[in-house]
């Protein structure tokens, strides 16, 4: 396999200082004997996107390593120094290979530029980074994590002073500064004994737990809980959080409780996927735990399985969202403490049942684009006008209250356990509670279909749907069509929404990270609780759309 001359030139630049000896040896090995790996590692620069960096670890411009971390951090430092004369940054990291090293490299760059850093002494869940940013009143924060990606990935997330993921205009300013930095040029570094570094330990956990306790709505009642952190950061604080709320009958999935960069006993790290909960479900049935909780490696997303009629039943992200929302609203309303300016947030692909519940109780519900950073942004925009209570995205991310500005699986776990314990006290399960919600608001069934397609095919399809939107889907008339690249209350985005005459909904959007098309479907049955019928209607809706629009590609 021949090597492209331009690519070889980029690789050759890594055979000298400032690159360390181990890096140079690996690059030389790829040049001499592994041109395929060389091409993948150097064919482009790992782009700093609106949420930061994420990619495979290793030497190369298209990899996450100390050099790409340094360049990203220098770009962030330059923006911070434009904004403030005395900026500070909170930094946390997960269990992955090199996460601590990357966090320390970011610290060294920031302190070399005169910026104070609050660096965690140990692994740190993502919600604690958002909380820490706010608690220490920092200008920004960095979390080193690749969330639920495989073990050979890592990432670099940036937060702003409100504790939310960085959004416009600052995200673009950081991107612009990072692009100006030549990765093969030396970047100033300070030692890790710099007086500008403050090491963060138990004080942060104690502050978070105290603040979290203030959100408790009901006194604890007995419930048996099984928890798996999937080898991730949740083990640091979730057991303490549940105990602080009075829930002490907690058991662990032993094989998955230990922090492990290789995630040895977890076949999936994504709590949206059944296989991530499989080991936990087996133990749940063995010990008859009322509730199984699984958090992803950085503990911002959560998966749930309920013991119902002798079976372990997994709840979807939409179902968890609606149960939590209904629990919050019902409790506050019954105590006459439901705020007159109560406000709730969901993403545009999250179930419309969420809106029905919020509005039934008199709350405002708004849609934001996919991505929890937009929920965090909306909370900040509301701080003087509305009282935000709860926000959700269908991909298992939730936030109750405003302690943090990102999805929080620690916070969510406490709320869900409280809800399940209250149901158990009434001889019910969360499945029973869900059916009660359906009886009141109508049956809602949702699905996500993901198609792997060539990028050109995805672009052509989106353009065709945009220029000539279908007037019916699966023989059901389209009542309303929304193109979010055009005039909208939301920022422009490559998303199409179809509202059908029978109350069903389709949302079509390309994946932001890979060549895939995502199709979100939802059906509504106002006067029927027949789940099988609902699922058949949902299947017909999706299959109809595919037949009419995809099969011809």
What residues are annotated to the active site?
A: 147
Bridge partners of residue 307, in order along the sequence: 312
* CB contact at 8 A, 160 and 106: no
Tokens representing 55 are: 């990619």
Instruction: Of 201, 267, 175, 197, give the one whose Cα is nearest residue 228.
Output: 267
SS3 250: strand
- Burial (0-12, 13-18, 19+ Cβ within 10 Å), 432: middle
Residue 469 near residue 480 (C-beta atoms within 8 A): no
Cα separation, 112 vs 66, whole angstroms: 15
Report which secondary-structure segment, H or E, holds 531: helix 531-549
- 272-309 burial by CB neighbour count: b if 16+ within 10 A, else e? beeebbebbbebbbeeebbbbbbbbbbbbbbbbbbbee
**Region class of 280: left (phi > 0), else alpha (psi between -120 and 50), else beta:** alpha
H or E stretch covering 103: helix 99-112
Which value, to the nearest 10 degrees, does the dihedral of the CA atoms of residues 269, 274, 277, 280 take?
-150
292 membership: H or E segment, kind and range? strand 291-295
Structure-block tokens of residue 449: 């279909």
Query: φ and ψ at 506, to 5 degrees?
Result: -130, 135
For residues 125 and 132, is the Cβ–Cβ distance under 8 A?
A: no
For residue 288, the SS3 value is coil
């Amino acid at each position: 396999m021949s090597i492209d001359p331009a690519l070889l030139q980029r690789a050759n630049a890594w055979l000298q200082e400032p690159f360390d000896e181990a890096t140079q040896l690996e690059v030389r090995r790829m040049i001499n004997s592994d041109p395929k790996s060389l091409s993948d590692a150097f064919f482009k620069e790992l782009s700093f996107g609106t949420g930061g960096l994420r990619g495979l670890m290793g030497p190369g411009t298209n990899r996450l390593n100390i050099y790409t971390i340094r360049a990203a951090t220098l770009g962030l430092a330059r923006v911070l120094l434009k904004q403030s004369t005395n900026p500070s940054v909170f930094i946390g990291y997960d269990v992955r290979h090199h996460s601590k090293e990357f966090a320390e490299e970011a610290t060294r760059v920031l302190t070399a530029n005169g910026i104070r850093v609050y660096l965690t002494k140990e692994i740190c869940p993502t919600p604690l980074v958002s909380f820490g940013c706010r608690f220490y009143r920092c200008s920004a924060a960095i979390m080193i994590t690749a969330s639920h990606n495989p073990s050979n990935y890592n990432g670099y997330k940036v937060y702003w002073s409100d504790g939310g993921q960085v959004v416009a205009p600052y995200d673009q300013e950081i991107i612009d500064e990072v692009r100006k930095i030549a990765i093969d040029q030396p970047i100033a570094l300070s030692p890790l004994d710099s007086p500008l570094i403050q090491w963060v330990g138990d004080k942060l956990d104690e502050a978070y737990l105290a603040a979290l306790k203030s959100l408790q709505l009901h006194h604890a009642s007995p419930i048996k809980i099984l928890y798996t952190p999937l080898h991730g950061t949740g083990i640091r604080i979730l057991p303490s959080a549940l105990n602080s709320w009075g829930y002490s009958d907690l058991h662990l999935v032993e094989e998955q409780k230990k922090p492990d960069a290789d995630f040895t006993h977890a076949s999936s790290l994504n709590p949206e996927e059944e296989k991530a909960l499989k080991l936990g479900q087996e133990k749940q049935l063995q010990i008859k735990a009322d509730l199984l909780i699984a958090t992803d490696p950085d503990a911002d997303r959560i998966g749930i399985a309920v013991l119902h009629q002798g079976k372990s039943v997994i709840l979807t992200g939409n179902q968890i969202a609606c149960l939590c929302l209904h629990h919050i609203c019902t409790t506050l309303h019954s105590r006459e403490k439901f705020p007159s300016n109560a406000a709730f947030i969901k993403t545009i692909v999250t179930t419309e049942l969420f809106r029905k519940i919020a509005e039934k109780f008199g709350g405002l519900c708004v849609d934001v684009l996919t991505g929890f950073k937009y929920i965090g942004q909306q909370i900040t925009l509301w701080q003087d006008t509305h009282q935000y209570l709860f926000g959700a995205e269908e991909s298992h991310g939730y936030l109750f209250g405003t302690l943090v500005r990102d999805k929080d699986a620690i916070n969510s776990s406490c709320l869900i356990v409280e809800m399940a314990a209250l149901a158990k006290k009434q001889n019910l399960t969360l499945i029973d509670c869900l059916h009660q919600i359906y009886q009141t608001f109508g049956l809602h069934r949702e699905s996500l279909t993901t198609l792997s397609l060539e990028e050109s095919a995805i672009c052509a399809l989106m353009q065709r749907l945009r220029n000539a939107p279908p007037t019916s889907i699966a023989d059901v008339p389209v009542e309303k069509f929304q193109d979010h690249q055009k005039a909208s209350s939301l920022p422009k985005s490559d998303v199409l929404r179809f509202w059908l005459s029978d109350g069903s909904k389709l949302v079509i959007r390309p994946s932001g990270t890979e060549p895939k098309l995502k199709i979100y479907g939802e059906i509504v049955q106002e006067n029927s609780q027949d789940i099988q019928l609902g699922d058949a209607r949902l299947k017909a809706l999706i299959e109809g759309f595919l037949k009419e629009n995809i099969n011809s590609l």
